């Protein structure tokens, strides 16, 4: 949205392709018209301002909602709008594909009633619906606290917030967080305090987390501060931070680099978003820096596009935007310590824990495959042999954990275990669209 507004402001007519039903992305998601909850209460006032800013430029761009970009190849981006497919040539392609939840599997995570944290929040934002009446929020993410407060405001009982990172890690990260984005830190601390004041049980350093139930989630059990706990609930929201959506960038030929601190792969950019001839990346899909970094990096990439097309750009604004992006990226690094991805869990998880829910591959099956004589030593070969990551989600939900399982089984570092290569279509497209594409080829 921010890149499009810069481009439109300079007389270009950008095409904004979004598989979402309306503008807003994750943070400024517009509630569906039929289900709209009280907009301000759930989304905050910023959403209305963002929507108004976009409405002001809507006539100066081509907005294609409900349209999936499913491949980038040969200088064209391939789109599916329902079952209508088309190819769009471009002078410049800005990939701002955002992020999705990063998951570490736990026993019971595929049970009905267990949702990803982002999914639980999306339901509330989009449809005014909640995942249950008595909900446990578990994982490692600042979003745990925000989503728990939003659920409380919607009348839901928050049974507990189970944070898998110890308090000591948060204390250690405080100075860096205070230096880089004190306002965001203050907001986060205030959210934690509000939950405590409301009497919501909050546990830190949670280990051995598991969901219990039969046909539906009924309780979570875990250890914290040396004691075993069991908390009844009717739904669980589970999330361990975000992972960037890089599959289109990968298909476009962008180099991806491994960030050892965040233990994730990101498109390699020049800092202003350039990542190949006519290719640019911004937002969570490029740096998972949060909403303010997404907005700044979108503007910066738009200025890079304009500069590359021969326009004069405002150097002072660009320098300020680079500063904003750098500050928020540093803040995210602090958050990655305060809300750590639980890589050390990978070797400890029970072998019958489901890893790839699309293809029904357990952690034990992947360990067995990679531990076999002459077994695969990298994630794409492991996928070919076990089908882990080969299903409907294309490894979005299991890929990060699968890499940790491979690394821990073989004694490799996570980078050596590799990343799942992007495959077209990046998400399922209707069969009639796929058949039409095939007969045209």
> Binding residues for ligand FAD, per CB under 6 A?
17-20, 25-27, 68-69, 96-100, 118, 121-122, 143, 146, 242, 245, 248, 283-285, 290-291, 294, 426
Mutual angle of helices 291-308 and 2-9, in 10-degree steps: 30
Token pair recorded at residue 268: 């390699």
Closest approach of ligand FAD to the CB of residue 426, in Å: 5
> Which of 46, 47, 86, 50 shows the shortest CA–CA distance to 69?
86
Closer Cβ to ligand FAD, 274 or 367, answer by number: 274
Q: Which CB atom, from 143 or from 220, has the smaller least distance to ligand FAD? A: 143
Written as six digits, the tokens of 294 are 């997404």
Contacts of 314 (CB under 8 A, 6+ apart): 303
Classify residue 367 as exposed, middle or buried by CB count within 10 Å of its CB (0-12, 13-18, 19+): buried
Structure-block tokens of residue 232: 């009844």
Least separation in angstroms between CB 68 and ligand FAD: 5
Residue 405 CA to residue 379 CA, distance in Å, equals: 10
Give CA–CA dist 288/286, Å, rounded: 6
**168 vs 193 by CB, closer to ligand FAD:** 193
Please, what is the minimum distance in Å from the beta carbon of residue 134 to ligand FAD? Answer: 22
Radius of gyration of the chain (CA): 22
Token reading at 437:
């594409």
Q: Identify the H or E element spanning 106.
A: none
* Distance in angstroms between the alpha carbons of the first and the last residue of the chain: 34
Instruction: Considering the complex, state which of residue 96 and residue 406 has its C-beta at the smaller distance from ligand FAD.
Output: 96
Among residues 108 and 285, whose Cβ is nearest to ligand FAD? Answer: 285
The residue (of 410 and 434) whose beta carbon lies closer to ligand FAD is: 434
| 8 A C-beta contact, residue 327 and residue 179 | no
DSSP state of 398: T
Report the nearest approach of ligand FAD to the CB of residue 387 (Å).
23
Is the previous residue joined to 425 through a cis bond, with omega within 30 degrees of 0? Answer: yes
Continuous segment of H or E residues that includes residue 276: strand 274-276
Instruction: Give whichever of 248 and 433 is closer to ligand FAD, judged by the CB atom.
Output: 248
**95 or 173, CB closer to ligand FAD?**
95
Is 20 or 213 the residue whose CB approaches ligand FAD more closely? 20
Neighbours of 359 (CB within 10 A): 17
Tokens of 358: 């699309």
Among 95, 97, 180, 185, which Cα is nearest to 145's?
A: 185
**For residues 287 and 329, is the Cβ–Cβ distance under 8 A?**
yes
- Closer to ligand FAD by CB, 330 or 410: give it: 330
CB of 105 or CB of 289, closer to ligand FAD? 289
CB of 208 to ligand FAD, least distance (A): 26
Tell me the closest approach of the beta carbon of residue 26 to ligand FAD, in angstroms.
3
Residue 97: CB minimum distance to ligand FAD, A: 4
Report, in Å, the least distance between residue 274 CB and ligand FAD: 17
Closest distance of CB 422 from ligand FAD, Å: 10
Query: Nearest distance from residue 334's CB to ligand FAD, in Å?
Result: 15
What is the DSSP secondary structure assignment for residue 185, as one 8-state letter?
H
Cβ-Cβ contacts under 8 Å for 17 (sequence gap 6 or more) = 64, 67, 69, 77, 79, 88
What is the nearest approach in angstroms of ligand FAD to the Cβ of residue 173? 18
């Amino acid at each position: 949205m921010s890149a499009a507004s810069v481009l439109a402001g300079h007389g270009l007519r950008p095409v904004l392709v979004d598989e979402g039903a309306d503008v807003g992305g994750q943070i400024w998601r517009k509630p569906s018209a039929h289900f709209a909850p009280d907009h301000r209460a759930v989304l905050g006032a910023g959403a209305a301002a963002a929507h108004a800013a976009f409405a002001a430029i809507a006539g100066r761009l081509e907005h294609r909602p409900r349209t999936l970009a499913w491949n980038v190849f040969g200088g064209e981006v391939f789109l599916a709008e329902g079952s209508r497919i088309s190819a769009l040539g471009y002078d410049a392609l800005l990939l701002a594909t955002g992020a999705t939840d990063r998951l570490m599997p736990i026993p019971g995570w595929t049970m009905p009633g267990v949702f990803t944290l982002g999914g639980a929040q999306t339901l509330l934002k989009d449809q005014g619906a909640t995942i249950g009446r008595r909900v446990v929020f578990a994982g490692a993410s600042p979003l745990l606290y925000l989503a728990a407060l939003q659920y409380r405001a919607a009348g839901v009982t928050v049974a507990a917030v189970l944070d898998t990172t110890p308090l000591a890690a948060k204390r250690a990260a405080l100075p860096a967080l205070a230096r880089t984005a004190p306002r965001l830190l203050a907001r986060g601390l205030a959210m934690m305090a509000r939950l405590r004041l409301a009497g919501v049980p909050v546990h830190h350093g949670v280990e051995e987390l598991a969901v219990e139930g039969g046909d539906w989630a009924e309780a979570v059990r875990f250890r914290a501060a040396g004691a075993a706990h069991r908390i009844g609930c009717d739904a669980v929201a589970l999330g361990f931070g975000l992972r960037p959506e890089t599959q289109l960038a990968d298909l476009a030929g962008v180099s991806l680099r491994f960030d050892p601190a965040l233990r994730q792969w990101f498109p390699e950019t020049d800092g202003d978003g350039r990542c190949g001839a006519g290719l640019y990346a911004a937002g969570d899909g490029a740096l998972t820096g949060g909403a303010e970094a997404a907005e700044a990096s979108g503007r910066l990439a738009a200025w890079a596009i304009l500069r590359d097309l021969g326009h004069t750009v405002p150097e002072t604004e660009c320098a300020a935007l680079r500063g904003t992006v750098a500050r928020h990226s540093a803040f995210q690094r602090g958050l990655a310590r305060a809300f750590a991805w639980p890589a050390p869990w990978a070797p400890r998880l029970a072998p019958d824990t489901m890893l790839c829910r699309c293809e029904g591959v357990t952690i034990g099956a992947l360990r067995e495959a990679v531990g076999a004589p002459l077994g695969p030593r990298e994630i794409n070969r492991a996928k070919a042999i076990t089908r882990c990551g080969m299903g409907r989600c294309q490894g979005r939900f299991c890929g990060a954990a699968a890499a940790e399982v491979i690394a821990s089984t073989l004694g490799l570092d996570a980078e050596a275990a590799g990343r799942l290569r992007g495959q077209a279509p990046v998400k399922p497209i209707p069969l009639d669209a796929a058949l039409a594409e095939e007969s045209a080829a």
